[in-house]
Structure 1
Amino acid sequence: MQTPEGVPPWVTFYVGVEDLEKTLERAEGLGGRRVMGPMPVGDVGEMAMFADPDGNVLGLFAERAR
């Protein structure tokens, strides 16, 4: 996907977790900040994003129980 003019390209890595809220709270407790979510991803699961203390954004994904 092309970024808008003036915005450099980026990559977001997603990590699978059991509990998005618990993981986001842990990240915040270690100095990170919530960027997005949790939000549903169709019928597959939920996703969220947080920034570490240096501003690097990481994605989280929790699969929906089947």
Structure 2
Amino acid sequence: MNTIAVEIDGKTEEVTIEKKSIRVDELLESLNIYPETAVVLKDGKLLCDDERIKPGDRVKIVIATSKG
């Protein structure tokens, strides 16, 4: 199986994908996270919505919260 390590709020989980890679916005939607409310980092670098994540990659998702 193809898996990606995803860290959210300090917890890491393995996400299985069925393709050779997945777009950042597709990953967020599969996790029920609105792409407009989160950023995805890989190796400390910000990824754009259309960038692809491959099996074996490790990413961190930071969800933005409004204090307004």
TM-score range, shorter chain: 0.3 to 0.5
Bigger Rg, which one: 1
Higher relative contact order (CA 8 A, sep 6+): 2
Q: Which has a greater percent of strand?
A: 2
TM-score, normalization by structure 2? 0.33
